[in-house]
Chain A
């Protein structure tokens, strides 16, 4: 049974559909990457999975269980983590407090998970008493991912984790994402840096106008001349 499955998902904001029938399957040990031009519905799809917008047709399944239109706090309980692209930290709270909030529903696992997250993101340990709002963009992204990991999710949704980061930080974040995936967390992320993201992807979904255009392994999509011409800038 796949970890996450979307079947013919239609949805949008207030009557206007942005998603016009999207299909996706992600296995538990996979990194899935959603790419596509602006306005293709990439972030919208991620939000639809996390219950942030209305799915009015089709279904989304987590390990076979329908989850579409459940509120976010229920989805967190079911093992889903979400890292928004912007405003993804609590700026006036310390790094450690940010992480603690990630495990709000599991107060007993705060201590062991803090240790794990600090091991995964060593720079955060040194800054643990600093306010998240004072950190650099890359460090804030680590706080945001760390916060989502604190709830011990089985699948992590990342909305453009490398947006606005320097190439150096971008590679660092991609390396961390691979590491998180290696400990058994399924990853589904939206990326603008399509080539670099597809290079680490087990599965790639190329969206256009709210529908699937190409679905294949990351490597196969990178090698496909049609995908390269229309979506990866030649």
Chain B
């Protein structure tokens, strides 16, 4: 049973943590693609920007959280979301809109977004420095250890405070997004534009409004993902940039342009990563006595070493592009 607790901690919880972050990131990427038809490579750095806003705000008002009994970073998150949404709309106005007005091919927008990525990283480094910084200014990252009431179980299930916030906020974001897309007039118009842009225009739907709404949602979600990731580890200017590959893998696995697919894809990639780096020898340990003598199992039975975790989303990406390019939810072919 204790071995199984290891499995819960290292696969179930760790997978849900990265899965949630990939899912929120991939939803933003997929929404931008479904409305503007280009892969937005600057999305990861919009995540970092959101976390950077939280860092700046918590540094300015370090005591804001104590009165509410929450970490200051979480209290500042809504403001950071608004600022990141503003940044996203501003970036679109300054860089992508003029390109669209010229009727350029999507690849030009993709290259443009690479430029925005470099610019954002530069700006964040300029102000935040290049090193890692703790977003927990209160310095009381609570760690919950729960020993399950089962016979012979000594190893606790470990979950930290930011991870709990991550799960709650992921759930809230998904529910809010679902309600927005299916119940609200603007959300339905967004789906209409993703389905058939010409007909959406012929129905009187204003393209510019929908584009702005898309950036507001993408920016806010990016701020949530970036902040919670930085809370779980530490804030670094290049932290989210390394998530670009798994996030795009998640969006493509789910079917590009399909928000629910992106959420599913995020968890598929997250769990695939943790399952691949998990040492399966731990689960086999209790049965070691029943193995024949000639069978000598290596002490590390992981598929890949932790330091090579990045190959997992890369492999998934290649595999899905070869065998099912439209993704599990049949998105738009790219």
Residues of A participating in the B interface, judged by any CB pair closer than 8 Å:
50, 71-73, 76-77, 82, 84, 87-93, 97, 100-102, 104-105, 107, 147, 151
B204: chain A residues at CB < 8 Å are 72-73, 76-77, 104-105, 151
A71: chain B residues at CB < 8 Å are 201
Q: Which of A92, A105, A107 contacts B195 (CB 8 A)?
A: A92
Q: In the complex, what distance in Å separates the CA atom of A92 from the CA atom of B182? A: 12
The answer to whether B195 touches A84, judged by C-beta atoms less than 8 angstroms apart, is no
The answer to whether B196 touches A89, judged by C-beta atoms less than 8 angstroms apart, is yes
Q: In the complex, what distance in Å separates the CA atom of A61 from the CA atom of B204? A: 20
Determine the main DSSP class of A at the interface with B.
Answer: loop
Residues of B participating in the A interface, judged by any CB pair closer than 8 Å:
185, 188-189, 191-192, 195-196, 198-206
The answer to whether A89 touches B206, judged by C-beta atoms less than 8 angstroms apart, is no
Contact A104-B191, Cβ < 8 Å, known A73-B204, A84-B199, A91-B196: no
Minimum CB distance partner of B204 in chain A: A76
The answer to whether B198 touches A90, judged by C-beta atoms less than 8 angstroms apart, is no
A76: chain B residues at CB < 8 Å are 202-204
B206: chain A residues at CB < 8 Å are 73
Q: In the complex, what distance in Å separates the CA atom of A92 from the CA atom of B205? A: 17
A50: chain B residues at CB < 8 Å are 202
Nearest-Cβ distance from residue B101 to partner chain A, whole angstroms: 14
Contact A90-B202, Cβ < 8 Å, known A104-B185, A107-B185: no
Q: In the complex, what distance in Å separates the CA atom of A76 from the CA atom of B198? A: 13
Nearest-Cβ distance from residue A51 to partner chain B, whole angstroms: 9
Sorted from nearest, which 3 A-B pairs have the closest CB atoms?
Answer: A76-B204, A90-B195, A105-B204
Nearest-Cβ distance from residue B190 to partner chain A, whole angstroms: 11
Nearest-Cβ distance from residue A96 to partner chain B, whole angstroms: 10
The answer to whether B205 touches A73, judged by C-beta atoms less than 8 angstroms apart, is yes
The answer to whether B202 touches A84, judged by C-beta atoms less than 8 angstroms apart, is yes
A82: chain B residues at CB < 8 Å are 202
The answer to whether B205 touches A90, judged by C-beta atoms less than 8 angstroms apart, is no
Nearest-Cβ distance from residue A149 to partner chain B, whole angstroms: 12
Q: In the complex, what distance in Å separates the CA atom of A205 from the CA atom of B195? A: 34
A84: chain B residues at CB < 8 Å are 198-199, 202
The answer to whether B192 touches A90, judged by C-beta atoms less than 8 angstroms apart, is yes
Nearest-Cβ distance from residue A61 to partner chain B, whole angstroms: 20
The answer to whether B198 touches A87, judged by C-beta atoms less than 8 angstroms apart, is yes
Q: Which of A72, A87, A88, A90 contacts B201 (CB 8 A)?
A: A72
Nearest-Cβ distance from residue B206 to partner chain A, whole angstroms: 6
Q: In the complex, what distance in Å separates the CA atom of A87 from the CA atom of B199? A: 8
B201: chain A residues at CB < 8 Å are 71-73
The answer to whether A104 touches B202, judged by C-beta atoms less than 8 angstroms apart, is no
Known: A72-B204, A76-B202. 20 other contacts (CB 8 A): A72-B201, A72-B202, A73-B201, A73-B206, A76-B204, A87-B199, A90-B192, A91-B195, A91-B196, A92-B195, A93-B188, A93-B191, A93-B192, A97-B188, A101-B189, A101-B192, A101-B203, A104-B203, A104-B204, A151-B203
Minimum CB distance partner of A102 in chain B: B203
Q: In the complex, what distance in Å separates the CA atom of A105 from the CA atom of B196? A: 17
The answer to whether B198 touches A101, judged by C-beta atoms less than 8 angstroms apart, is no
A102: chain B residues at CB < 8 Å are 203
Minimum CB distance partner of B207 in chain A: A73
A104: chain B residues at CB < 8 Å are 185, 189, 203-205
Q: In the complex, what distance in Å separates the CA atom of A77 from the CA atom of B200? A: 14
Most buried by A among B192, B198, B202: B202
Q: In the complex, what distance in Å separates the CA atom of A171 from the CA atom of B205? A: 32
Q: Which of B185, B195, B205 contacts A93 (CB 8 A)?
A: B195
11 cross-chain CB contacts under 8 A = A72-B202, A89-B196, A90-B195, A91-B195, A91-B196, A92-B195, A93-B195, A101-B192, A102-B203, A104-B185, A107-B185
A90: chain B residues at CB < 8 Å are 191-192, 195-196, 199-200
Minimum CB distance partner of A100 in chain B: B188
Q: In the complex, what distance in Å separates the CA atom of A107 from the CA atom of B191? A: 17
Minimum CB distance partner of B188 in chain A: A97
Nearest-Cβ distance from residue A76 to partner chain B, whole angstroms: 4
Most buried by B among A92, A105, A151: A92
B203: chain A residues at CB < 8 Å are 76, 101-102, 104, 147, 151
Minimum CB distance partner of B186 in chain A: A104
A93: chain B residues at CB < 8 Å are 188, 191-192, 195
B200: chain A residues at CB < 8 Å are 90, 101
B195: chain A residues at CB < 8 Å are 90-93
